[in-house]
């Protein structure tokens, strides 16, 4: 059966946050005072996460799964989860979002296990600024990870770059991505830390600010279309006309993408969320032994109640939900 929310939107995309732990501490994602991580005793085993994902795929026709976190590549034996999920025949796409710091050592194994695509988050090409944003990150590890993913045979990586308030590297990023066969998307910064309302939130650079800045630096920049990807249909593709460079912008704040939302989110504790901005959840850990009928009833009732509170404040920390 199809899974539809209260507005009749078809849900075919599951974001699976496999851990809320991370080896980085990006300022816009983790709260300054630190985070209380899920105790290991409450974290679902990989087989349990795989079992829940399998039910979504086989019972509801979910055909797209993205593994996220925290940092998914710090979850031990992640390739086991990839192997189980990728073997489900109904699944069309299995992707991963990573900070890239462990990619150099994992790329071959996750490719062999059946992972199809990688999105990599990178917010600065300057070593010092990168370390400042991430707390302790080493830019060279990420760049090595990008090369390793290419060598392992992954299709061109999508690079996600958050437009932080002090971001000035747009020219460098666009040049670098286009010269290295990478698909670049700038993302407007969202209120990423739970509980902060939009009014308290100091946003970053907007799509229109970035484009007008770029026009001054590079000459004509044209919108060449909207493309559909895992963040909805709102990746706007731009071209720097003189150079032929392309890049995307996801205007997550100035043009909210709720209208064509097709996803649900499951975290490492087995908590299901139908909207990033809603604090309404349902616990699936109690349903491991439920019949398919009971599972369907619980999930359909929950997703059918989808409320969403667009862009007011997110229901939990980004690192638990997985972005």
Q: Which residues bind ligand SF4 (CB under 6 A)?
A: 22, 24-26, 29-30, 69-71, 99, 121, 318-319
Q: In angstroms, what is the minimal distance from the CB of 97 to ligand SAM?
A: 4
Residue 25 near which of ligand SAM, ligand SF4, none (CB within 5-8 Å, type-dependent): ligand SF4
Q: In angstroms, what is the minimal distance from the CB of 77 to ligand SAM?
A: 18
Name which of 114, 12, 113 is nearest 57 in CA terms.
Answer: 12
Q: Which is nearer to ligand SAM, 5 or 71 (CB)?
A: 71
Q: In angstroms, what is the minimal distance from the CB of 192 to ligand SAM?
A: 2
Residue ranges binding ligand SAM (CB under 6 A): 22, 28-29, 68-69, 71, 97-99, 121, 160, 162, 187, 189-190, 192, 318-319, 322-323
Q: Which is nearer to ligand SF4, 18 or 214 (CB)?
A: 18
* C-beta separation of 149 from 118 below 8 A: yes
d(CA 75, CA 79): 9
Residue 106 near which of ligand SAM, ligand SF4, none (CB within 5-8 Å, type-dependent): none
Computed over its alpha carbons, how large is the radius of gyration of the chain? 19
Question: Interior CA angle at 300 toward 297 and 303, to 5°?
Answer: 145
Q: In angstroms, what is the minimal distance from the CB of 191 to ligand SAM?
A: 6
Name which of 5, 13, 25 is nearest 264 in CA terms.
Answer: 13
Question: Interior CA angle at 310 toward 62 and 21, to 5°?
Answer: 65
Residue 162 near which of ligand SF4, ligand SAM, none (CB within 5-8 Å, type-dependent): ligand SAM
Residue 30 near which of ligand SAM, ligand SF4, none (CB within 5-8 Å, type-dependent): ligand SF4
Beta strands in the chain (DSSP E): 3-4, 10-11, 13-17, 64-68, 93-98, 117-121, 158-163, 183-188, 221-229, 232-240, 245-250, 263-266, 271-273, 281-283
Q: In angstroms, what is the minimal distance from the CB of 142 to ligand SAM?
A: 10
């Amino acid at each position: 059966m199809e899974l539809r929310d209260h507005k009749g939107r078809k849900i075919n995309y599951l974001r699976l946050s496999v851990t809320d732990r991370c080896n980085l501490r990006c300022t816009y994602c983790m709260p300054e005072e630190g985070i209380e991580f899920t105790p290991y005793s409450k974290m679902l085993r990989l087989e349990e996460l795989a079992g829940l994902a399998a039910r979504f795929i086989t019972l509801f026709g979910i055909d797209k799964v993205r593994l996220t976190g925290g940092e998914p590549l710090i979850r031990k034996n992640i390739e086991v989860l990839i192997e189980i999920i990728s073997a489900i025949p109904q699944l069309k796409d299995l992707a991963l979002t990573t900070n890239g710091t462990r990619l150099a050592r994992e790329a071959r194994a996750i490719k062999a296990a059946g992972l199809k695509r990688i999105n990599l988050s990178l917010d600065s090409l300057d070593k010092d600024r990168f370390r400042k944003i991430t707390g302790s990150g080493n830019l060279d590890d990420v760049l090595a990870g990008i090369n390793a993913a290419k060598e392992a045979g992954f299709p061109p990586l999508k690079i996600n770059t958050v437009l932080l308030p002090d971001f000035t590297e747009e020219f460098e990023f666009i040049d670098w991505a286009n010269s290295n066969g990478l698909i670049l998307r700038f993302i407007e910064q969202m209120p990423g830390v739970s509980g902060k309302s939009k009014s308290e939130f100091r946003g970053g650079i907007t799509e229109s600010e970035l484009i007008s800045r770029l026009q001054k630096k590079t000459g004509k920049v044209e919108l060449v279309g909207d493309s559909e990807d895992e963040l909805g249909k709102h990746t706007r593709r731009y071209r720097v006309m003189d150079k032929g460079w392309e890049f995307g912008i996801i205007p997550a704040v100035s043009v909210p993408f709720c209208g064509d939302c097709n996803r649900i989110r499951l975290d490492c504790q087995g908590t299901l969320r139908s909207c990033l901005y809603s604090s309404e959840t349902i616990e699936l850990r109690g349903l491991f032994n439920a019949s398919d009928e009971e599972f369907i009833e619980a999930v359909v009732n929950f997703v059918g109640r989808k409320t969403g509170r667009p862009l007011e404040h997110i229901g939990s920390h980004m690192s638990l939900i997985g972005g």
